[in-house]
Structure 1
Amino acid sequence: MTVARLSPATRKAAVALLLVAALATGAGLLFVFDPNAADSPLPQCLFRLLTGLYCPGCGMTRALHALLHADVARAWAMNPMIVLMLALLPAMTWHQLGRQPALPAPFSRVLMNGKAWIALLVAFGVLRNLPWAAFAWMAPG
């Protein structure tokens, strides 16, 4: 029995279709289930449960839930980093598709630099746990 080989274009289309289906399913679940509710089936942050500290992703589920309900202010209060990252996602996707985003070259280089993103996420994770008022806005809440 021979297995038909898929062309690269067909494989890319299948992967894109699966990605869209997964995103739509996740968005549907986040729209229906409120992660703020006591009986929510959505998991809590394991890092927070184990350490008592906020990780860079803490509040992300609640932020995405708020965005799906068009509550940008609440999403920002839960996790400002995810709101910024989602705003930059179209430019990053455009770049990954081999097109140059309509951004100044220095900004584009930083935006597409993985090391810069890692440093930003680590700094965000540290700063949002500091007890001073200047950083308290970064904590979920």
Structure 2
Amino acid sequence: MRRLATPVGVMALVIGAFGYVGAVDPNEPGHYPVCPLLRFTGLYCPGCGGLRSAHAVAHGDVAAALGSNALAVVGYGIFAVLWVAWMSHAARGRPMSITAKPVVWWGIGVLLLTFSVVRNLPFGSALAP
């Protein structure tokens, strides 16, 4: 049981965060701070709409979550898969190590930058929150 404490604790924190965002609606102004990039430049960052997306996921509305921030929804899915793998490794007593080559990190950076640029252009308005 001790081996499972860390992944279970991380999931408890994630569930608590989603529970809080599910209870305190980010669509109502004044509950959460405004994105600094959006406030000062009027541009959407890759995380803009992420809280609204988490709120929609917490309420089971995947379509609204995708509309708020599709990349965040993909991130939630990746987290879920990695968490299951982590639990599987922990249950077997094997440490889990995620190593990625620099090209993967560069690819993630390019994906985030591309997502940010496209969602701020007129033809990418469907990706805007």
- Superposition map of 1:59-78 within 5 A: 59-78=49-68
Matched pairs, number:
118
Could you tell me how far apart the structure 2 residues matched to 1:56 and 1:35 are? 17
Greater relative contact order, per chain length (Cα 8 Å cut-off, separation 6+) = 2
SS for the counterpart of 2:47 is coil
Check conservation: 2:68, 2:128, Cα contact below 8 A. yes
Match in the other structure for 1:43: 33
Could you tell me how far apart the structure 1 residues matched to 2:87 and 2:7 are? 12
Structure 1 gaps of 5+ residues are 1-8, 100-108
Decide which structure has greater helix share: 2
Q: 1:23 to 1:50 in 2, by over 3 A?
A: same
Could you tell me how far apart the structure 2 residues matched to 1:78 and 1:98 are? 32
1:97 to partner: Cα distance: 7.3
Match in the other structure for 1:29: 20
Check conservation: 2:7, 2:87, Cα contact below 8 A. no
Match in the other structure for 2:93: none
1:57 to partner: Cα distance: 0.4
Could you tell me how far apart the structure 1 residues matched to 2:84 and 2:6 are? 17
Structure 2 gaps of 5+ residues are 90-99
Could you tell me how far apart the structure 2 residues matched to 1:31 and 1:43 are? 16
RMSD: 2.8
Match in the other structure for 1:114: 105
Q: 1:84 to 1:24 in 2, by over 3 A?
A: closer
Report the TM-score, using the length of structure 1 for normalisation. 0.69
